[in-house]
Each structure stands twice: as structure tokens, then as C-alpha cells.
Amino acid sequence: MAAPSMGGVSLPRGHGQVVRLPRGASLTDLAEKIGAQPAALVTALFHLGEMVTATQSVNDETLQLLGAEIEWNIQVVSPEDEDRELLETFDLTFGDEGDAEDWVARPPVVTVMGHVDHGKTKLLDAIRNSNVVAREAGGITQHIGAYQVVTELEDDERPITFIDTPGHESFTAMRARGAKVTDIVVLVVAADDGVMPQTVEALNHAQAAEVPIVVAVNKIDKEGANPAKIRQQLTEYGLVAEEYGGDTMFVDVSATTRQGLDELLTAILLTADAELDLRANAEQDPQGVVIEGKLDKGRGPVATVLVQRGTLRQGDSIVAGDAYGRVRSLLDEHGNKLKEALPARPVQVVGLTSVPRAGDTFLVVEEDRVARQIADRRQARIRNAQNASMRKRISLEDLDAALKENRQLNLIIKGDNSGTVEALEEALMKIEVSDDISLRVIHRGVGGITKSDIDLALADDVIVLGFNVRAEGQATELANREGVDVRYYSVIYQAIEEIEAALKGMLKPEYEEVALGSAEVREVFRVPRIGNVAGSIVRSGVITRNSKARLVRDGVVVADNLTVESLRRFKDDVTEVRDGYECGIGLGSFNDIKTEDVIETFEMREKPRA
């Protein structure tokens, strides 16, 4: 059978063959893999009711739709799989290497979850501050996103790592991105309140992730505290306290009086020892997960990472998400410099070129070059995926309009931390002023506005937004010289207002018709080489030469879209004739003029916007 043709262009059918594409691939990418012309795919998709250009990122759904049509089994590769493949090309894998027998025991990593106001934050603070080792270290404990405490168990000094962001978001966000960080969940339940919706939610998350739970029954100092009731309630969710014959440890605590904290730490260790065999290879190239990232005024990008395996050292070449660099210094939660960080050790890393996101994995590689290449490839992938998710689908109905008037406002967003950049982007994407105007964020990042941001802005019509950041030296000069629109904000709603106004400014002007005059035809003259001329009397307003006109006969519009091409009073050409006066009106090649017709003239005026 000959290759089927679609819209006149032939396409190679896949007969169910598999083709793998990264999320956010374009039709050109697909064309390359199946040996087709990109234009043929654009046409095929067009016939399916979707209008995209060859190089635009296409979402999963659309790729599947197109795949079904041309009989290719299109597999959209998940970012995780793709990343695994990317690392493989550098001969790297994310995970423990070697024989489990050679691995060393490592501390458990704990996340605190529970209902709002049940005391998660206070409990994390209490544990951090009551720690003896921390006090001996002398430094003021800072929030870096995670910390380690040491507790004594059977004459052994045993560390425990706490993720210092209470709540379910961090837990699920990390899991969603494939980072399994938490070994044990401490479920906080206020003894004076009981099991609440978020308690159940936390419990479900932990159970889904198959992470053992230790229950901290908090606020036992409060009047009305009923720890027994909590134990009772939780049996309904499969958490049966040890003292009732189950295998979940419940500990009564008070974050306020610090009562029961040691018992809680002991319970965590006992649960870890009983249910988990936490080991890691401390000898391999270090790897782990980013817990938090921020831009520090003095030190530049700073990331708190949790080392999961290997031993991280100063001078290591590291790639974390799409950031890379050389570890300039390692700092613990007391601000002390560390020479090295062992598995399950949270540590601040200084020396990255940009700020990675929470949940990104990090790897130490042999050479700076490799780190940079991996980071670059990831950056490109993130950009593609974002473009795909952001593309507004254009339906066939809008096609005409879209082709004629696809107006787009491009933005570059830079901010002081990844959270605000994301929040700002999300808020901006919600602005809707009109269907034919879209907003696109072509680049976003943490840090000051650099020369390369401005270079990027020059390529298109781009507004650069700086949220709590400024343009750096050369960038300001370049922006001024080239007239790039750079705007600074420190309040999100202000940014939204201004961008909304900018979008409105891009709206097509709306016009309205304004009547100018009308004239009644008294007599029709045939003028050689010109055609019929209407001998008329102006009944209202003014008839002006070159104005738009329509012809009305017995109250019905006979012809629209006419122009007053000639206008005469007696033998003279005139530009206008006022009401009450007679004149000759020529309507160009339009000759169907009869006596008693009415010629109305009007003009289109731009409507002021509300």
C-alpha cells in the first residue's frame, strides 16, 4: 500500500512501531525520529484540529492523538526516565553502588507531619534547641531546611536527621519528583484536639510511601489533653499502639515543656532499627537530594542538600538539578565549616552557579565539564517541558484569528528565590485579557538580571521582571542602550497589575461607526468615462470626499463599503458639502443609483477602552 496522504503530503505509517520522545518535544523532533517531513506532521495535526508550528513544544495528549492517527506508538518519556538516560550517557547512575555488605549504617531521616496547629513547627524547634551537641557546638542554630541531632541509645551516640520543613507539601513534592528522602514520619497529633483531616492525610501519604510512622501525641501539658483517646482514634486507621499489642510507637510529648522529647528520639531509633536496615555506601561518588535552595546576598547560590550516599567534600564537582559548580564550602546548621558530609548529613553547599530546586537530586562527578554538560541538558529539558505545558491550545475555530493576530507578550522573570519566581509566574499565567493575546515566560531563574538575560530579551519583544533583584552592572547598560523594558517589583500584585495593563495595551483597537452625513438622490446623471453620478441634496451632517458610504433604498442597504470618490458643486470639485446644499456624488465604479436612494456617509473611529 502506498503511503497515505494527508493534505497532499505523504507520511510514513508506523504500523504500531514504538517511538520514544521526551516530554515537550516538537513535531520537528518527532519528524526526525520517524523520517517524516515536519510540515507533513503539522498538516496532519491541523486536520485533527490542532494548530501548532513545527518547532513548538507539543503536549503529551496531542502527541498521542497524532500518534494514533499515523499509527506510531508514541511513548512520552517521563522526566525521571529521561534523566536516567541522560546520566547513563555519562556512565552515571543515581543509587547505591557495590555490595550491600560493604555499606555502612546511616542515621534515619525524619519528616514531621500532622494537622495544622498541632505543633509541628514548635516540636521541630524544641528538638533542635534541646540538643546537647548543638549547644556544645556553640553556634546559633539556623534554619537551613534540615538538621541533625544526636541522642544516646544503649551507650551509643546516634544521630537523627530531621527535615526542618513541617507539612505535607515538602514530603509529597519531593516524592512527586522521585526523591525518596524520608525514612520515618513523625505524626504529630494534639492531645487536646484529636485526629483531624490533615492527620489522616499525612497518615495516608506515609502509608502510601510505605514509610513507618511514630506518633507524637503533643500538647500533653494542656488541660483536657487525652492521649488515650488519640491512641483509640488511630486504631481505626491501622495504627495500633505497642501497649495495645500493635507495632506503632506512640510517645506523649509537649513541645512547650519539652517533656518526652528524649523518648520520642528513642522511639524513632527503635522503629528504624526494628523496621528498616538503613545503610549506604559511604565510599562511592556522593549523591543526594536538594532540600532547599536560596540566593544569599553575600555568598551567592546556597543549597541545603541531604547526602544520601558517598561522602561529600569541599572541592567536589557537583551537579544539582540544572545547577552546577565546585563545592567551595560545606556548612552545617550551626554555621560550622565541615570538611566532609557523610550519608544522611544535611549540609549547606556554597559554590553553585545557580539555585537548584527542592527535590532536585545532586551528583558529584569527575570533572567540572561533565557537571556543566548535565546541567545544560537538564536546563534545556526543563525549558521544553515548561513551554509544552504553557502553550495555549489553539482550536480550529480560532485559527483564522490566530494566524492573523497571534499576539504574544514574552516575559523573563528573575527573583530572589525559586518560590517567589514560581508564585509570580503562576499568578501571571492566570491573567486573561483576551483570547488572541497570550503571555509566555521564556525564561525564569533565581538571581540578579544578567547580561545574558538582556541578550535573550533582545531577540524578541520581551519584558524583563526583577522581583527583589536588580540588573547587574553591564546588564543595566545594555538594557538602557537597547531599550529593553526592565521592571522591578517587590510586591506580586503590583507586577500583576502592570503586566495586565501591558497586555491590555496590546489589544487590537476596537472601532465604532460614526455617522457623518446623508444625502438624498434627486437625479442620476450619466457622465462619460466616469459612470453614474448622483445629483443629490444633503439632508443631514456633511458629505465629505473620500469618506465611506453606503446606499440605502426604501430603508434597505443596497450597497455597503462604498467611497465618495468624487464630490462636486456645480462644476467645482469640493471636499465637503453641508446639509441643505445640492451636490454631485460619484461612488466610483458603483453605478446602481436611482432617484430617492439615500447615500449615508460614515467613518470608523477607534473606541476608547474602558
221 binds ligand GDP (CB under 6 A): yes
Can you tell me which of 116, 276, 401, 501 binds ligand GDP, judged by CB under 6 A?
A: 116
Ranges within 442-461 binding ligand GDP (CB under 6 A): none
128 binds ligand GDP (CB under 6 A): no
Q: State the CB neighbour count (10 A cutoff) for residue 68.
A: 12
Residue (117 or 482) nearer to ligand GDP, CB: 117
Minimum CB distance to ligand GDP, residue 169 (Å): 13
28 binds ligand GDP (CB under 6 A): no
255 binds ligand GDP (CB under 6 A): yes
Q: How many angstroms separate the first and last alpha carbons of the chain?
A: 60
Query: Could you tell me which stretch among 140-148, 218-226, 235-243, 568-576 binds ligand GDP (CB under 6 A)?
Result: 218-226
- Here the cell at position 411 is 516575559
158 binds ligand GDP (CB under 6 A): no
Residues binding ligand GDP: number (CB under 6 A): 16
167 annotated binding-site participant = yes
Can you tell me which of 13, 33, 122, 391 binds ligand GDP, judged by CB under 6 A?
A: 122
Q: Round to whole Å and give the CA distance between 514 and 461.
A: 35
Residue (198 or 408) nearer to ligand GDP, CB: 198
Q: Round to whole Å and give the CA distance between 5 and 539.
A: 62
CA distances from 593 to 74, 316, 516, 558, 603 (A): 64, 89, 20, 10, 21
Minimum CB distance to ligand GDP, residue 296 (Å): 25
Can you tell me which of 199, 248, 254, 311 binds ligand GDP, judged by CB under 6 A?
A: 254
Q: What type of residue is 442?
A: I
Q: What type of residue is 323?
A: A
Minimum CB distance to ligand GDP, residue 152 (Å): 23
Query: Could you tell me which stretch among 120-128, 134-142, 288-296, 323-331 binds ligand GDP (CB under 6 A)?
Result: 120-128
Nearest Cα residue to 174 out of 27, 71, 305, 266: 305
Q: Round to whole Å and give the CA distance between 22 and 301.
A: 29
Residue (268 or 439) nearer to ligand GDP, CB: 268
Return the DSSP state at 552.
E
Minimum CB distance to ligand GDP, residue 392 (Å): 38
Minimum CB distance to ligand GDP, residue 184 (Å): 18
Which residue's entry shows cell 528522602? 181
Query: Could you tell me which stretch among 148-156, 248-256, 266-274, 367-375 binds ligand GDP (CB under 6 A)?
Result: 248-256
Minimum CB distance to ligand GDP, residue 285 (Å): 37
119 annotated binding-site participant = yes
Nearest Cα residue to 538 out of 526, 547, 528: 547
Q: Round to whole Å and give the CA distance between 212 and 573.
A: 96
Return the DSSP state at 210.
T
Can you tell me which of 218, 287, 354, 438 binds ligand GDP, judged by CB under 6 A?
A: 218
- Here the cell at position 216 is 507524637
Query: Could you tell me which stretch among 115-123, 272-280, 396-404, 449-457 binds ligand GDP (CB under 6 A)?
Result: 115-123
Residue (166 or 321) nearer to ligand GDP, CB: 166
Beta-strand relationship, 9-10 and 17-22: unpaired
Residues 6+ apart with CB under 8 A from 410: 440, 441, 442, 460, 461, 462, 463
219 binds ligand GDP (CB under 6 A): yes
119 binds ligand GDP (CB under 6 A): yes
Can you tell me which of 37, 64, 226, 256 binds ligand GDP, judged by CB under 6 A?
A: 256
Can you tell me which of 22, 24, 145, 166 binds ligand GDP, judged by CB under 6 A?
A: 166
Residue (115 or 309) nearer to ligand GDP, CB: 115
407, 458 in Cβ contact below 8 A? no
- Here the cell at position 116 is 495544622
Q: State the CB neighbour count (10 A cutoff) for residue 179.
A: 21
Dihedral class, residue 388 (left if φ above 0, else alpha if ψ from -120 to 50, else beta): alpha
Query: Could you tell me which stretch among 116-124, 307-315, 550-558, 560-568 binds ligand GDP (CB under 6 A)?
Result: 116-124
Minimum CB distance to ligand GDP, residue 225 (Å): 9
Q: Is 559 exposed, middle or buried (CB count within 10 Å of its CB: 0-12, 13-18, 19+)?
A: middle
507 binds ligand GDP (CB under 6 A): no
165 annotated binding-site participant = yes
Q: Round to whole Å and give the CA distance between 606 and 279.
A: 73
- Here the cell at position 48 is 485533527
Query: Could you tell me which stretch among 94-102, 219-227, 242-250, 530-538 binds ligand GDP (CB under 6 A)?
Result: 219-227
Minimum CB distance to ligand GDP, residue 209 (Å): 20
Minimum CB distance to ligand GDP, residue 267 (Å): 17
Ranges within 79-108 binding ligand GDP (CB under 6 A): none
- Here the cell at position 33 is 525520529
| Strand-pair partners of 288 | 307, 362
Q: Round to whole Å and give the CA distance between 562 and 557.
A: 11
Minimum CB distance to ligand GDP, residue 17 (Å): 53
Residue (219 or 443) nearer to ligand GDP, CB: 219
Query: Could you tell me which stretch among 213-221, 408-416, 465-473, 559-567 binds ligand GDP (CB under 6 A)?
Result: 213-221
205 annotated binding-site participant = no
Residue (193 or 453) nearer to ligand GDP, CB: 193
121 annotated binding-site participant = yes
Residue (260 or 321) nearer to ligand GDP, CB: 260
Can you tell me which of 61, 80, 117, 242 binds ligand GDP, judged by CB under 6 A?
A: 117
15 annotated binding-site participant = no
Q: Round to whole Å and give the CA distance between 232 and 225.
A: 14
Residue of closest CB approach to ligand GDP = 119
Q: Is 504 exposed, middle or buried (CB count within 10 Å of its CB: 0-12, 13-18, 19+)?
A: middle
401, 69 in Cβ contact below 8 A? no
Residue (20 or 122) nearer to ligand GDP, CB: 122
Q: Round to whole Å and give the CA distance between 95 and 281.
A: 9
114 annotated binding-site participant = yes
Minimum CB distance to ligand GDP, residue 218 (Å): 5
Nearest Cα residue to 230 out of 188, 191, 185, 286: 191
What DSSP letter does each residue of 304-345 carry, written as one string? EEEEEES-EETT-EEEETTEEEEEEEEE-TTS-EESEE-TT-
Q: DSSP 3-state assignment of 133?
A: helix
| Residues in touch with ligand GDP (CB under 6 A) | 114, 116-122, 166, 218-219, 221-222, 254-256
Output the known binding site for GTP. Answer: 114-121, 164-168, 218-221
